[in-house]
Structure formats: structure tokens, C-alpha cells
Amino acid sequence: MIATSSVTERAGRVKPRYDTDVDKRPDRETSDKAIDPLRQYGIVDLEPKPPEPETALDELLEGQAWTTKRGKNPKGGLNAAGRRSLKAQGQNIKPGVKSYSKASTRDKRRWISWATRFYSNPKGPMVGDDGKPTRLALMATAWGEPVPKTRQAAQAIAAKARRRSDQLDRAEKRGKGE
């Protein structure tokens, strides 16, 4: 842009007034004759520089590993890289509880919460069009359950979670002496 000789003074700062026939805004048509001298001195750059591919790819992979193949466990759930990328975004994801019987009470509650959340009313198919289990179904292996093939099998896992919740509640009640 070319500054004209007129200057306005506002709030103690001096601001140049610009000619309106030369403007960087994309909605204005600019002539090559007016832009060439500006481009020569590096004042105007109409061709935006694309981001460096390695840097952009690294940022994408590091920040969003849980959405890519790199952050997913092929047997179901997220791997350590996927959990790390979510933690960087402020979430606290822990690995699934493989063995319910050996788990602490807190982990048993996590298992119950997971099963009822994902399988009481599944939000997608258990088997894809190609006949392979979906990520929703494969998630069960990360939590120590067999892969459900049907909606009813998924709901059976949720029913098991409700039974285990009742058992855990009764056991905690007995432990408190009530």
C-alpha cells in the first residue's frame, strides 16, 4: 500500500492514510502496474505461502494422534500415543480395565461406567458393511470383553455392567456395616 502525504493524528498516535486504489483486500481488483512496485519492495505479497508440509503434518499427527491410525490400537481402543495426544488437549484418558475381577473398586466403577455408556444404547453398528467389527465393537477387547457382533450382544454387556454395579453396591453396603 502507498501512504499519501496526509496524516491524521488520533490519541497521540500518527496514522497514515492510504490510497484506496491500491489495497490488499481480496475483494478489491488491483492492477498489476500498481502491485509490481509494491511486490518488488516486499510490501505486498498476494501469493500466500503454503505451510511447510513437514511442520503441518507433524503438528497434525502430534496434536490429533487419537484420530489417526497412529493413535489407535488395531485390536480396539487407543494406544499410548492416542492417550498422550488427548492428555495434551486437557483430557485424562486411562487404558481400559482388562480384568474386572482383579481390578480395584475404582477401576470396577470405571468398567461399569464404560459398559453402560457405550453399550446400553449403542450409537452405531457393531459390524461394518464389509463384515468386519467397527471401532465401537472392537473397544470391548480393550476392556476385557468379547467383541459383540450384534446390538443385542452389546446390550448384554451393558446388562452385565448393571448386575455388577448392583453387586458392588451391596458389597460396599456390607463393608460399611449398614
**Which 3-state string (H, E, C) describes 18-43?**
ECCCCCCCCCCCCCHHHHHHHHHCCC
Which residue has better confidence, 77 or 104? 104
pLDDT at 6: 46
pLDDT tens digits for range 14-66 = 555 555 545 555 545 555 556 566 566 666 555 666 655 555 555 555 557 66
- In this structure, what C-alpha cell is assigned to residue 89? 488437549
pLDDT tens digits for range 131-173 = 999 989 998 988 999 999 999 999 999 999 999 999 999 998 8
Residue identified by cell 453387586 is: 167
Confidence band for 80, pLDDT divided at 50, 70 and 90: confident
pLDDT at 29: 52
* Length of the chain as a residue count: 178
Torsion of CA 139, 108, 80, 133, to 10 degrees: -10
Model's pTM, two decimal places? 0.57
Which range in 6-15, 40-49, 76-85 is most confidently predicted, on average pLDDT?
76-85
CB 135 within 8 A of CB 123: no
- In this structure, what C-alpha cell is assigned to residue 70? 497412529
pLDDT tens digits for range 102-112 = 999 999 999 99
CB 137 within 8 A of CB 148: yes
Burial tier of 101 (Cβ tally within 10 Å: 0-12, 13-18, 19+):
exposed
pLDDT at 131: 92
Residue partners of 30: CB distance under 8 A and separation at least 6? 22, 23
